[in-house]
Amino acid sequence: MRYPPLVSYADRDSYREHYERDYCSRPVRTFDGILVRFHKKRFWHAFFESERRGGPKTVFCAERASRIDWIGAALCDPDAELYVGWDSTKKRYDSGRRVAVVVEDYVVIIALTGEAKADFITAFIADSPQTIARIRSSPRWSRK
């Protein structure tokens, strides 16, 4: 599947407007029929990084934001690798979270909220071998 070109805006507010216009105004239906809703507050989680590991996300990341249109493409990609998500607070896998890995180790995470419904959680580039290896060692996700 071809992925959209990278997006380039002059400031983070333009990316936020793009996110709200293209995602928050209507859900995205995944290739397998899950309706994914997007909430405005998730913009900060998806497009900001922390200055230090485990710290608060306070730094806007233009590299993440440039792939804003890849979120919808990844959700619609039938060739995406799908894995069960990890619940860091409970320290166990959570079949209610789905992790999609697509081109260039781009990751999109959704949380199921009901029958064929989900909320967008975040998206990022798995930019270290350890991160992508950890994701790919997770159980494969399958719809029950």
Task: Give pLDDT tens digits for 4-24.
Answer: 999 999 999 999 999 999 999
Q: Model pTM greater than 0.85?
A: yes
Flag whether pLDDT at 54 surpasses 80.
no
Note whether 42 and 123 are within 8 A (CB). no
Buried b (16+ CB within 10 A) or exposed e, 11-25: ebeebbebbeeebbe
- The two structure tokens encoding residue 57: 């996300």
Mean pLDDT of 116-122: 97
Give the pLDDT band (50/70/90) at residue 127. confident
Supply 9's token pair.
Answer: 């805006």
pLDDT surpasses 80 at 36: yes
Split at pLDDT 50, 70, 90, the class of 51 is confident
Res. 107: pLDDT tops 80: yes
Which of 67, 46, 85 lies closest to 38 in space, CA to CA? 46
Give the pLDDT mean for 138-144. 87
Render pLDDT for 58-70 as a digit per residue (tens, 0 to 9): 789 999 999 999 9
- In this predicted structure, the answer to whether residue 28 has a pLDDT above a threshold of 70 is yes
Q: Which residue has the higher pLDDT, 71 or 144?
A: 71
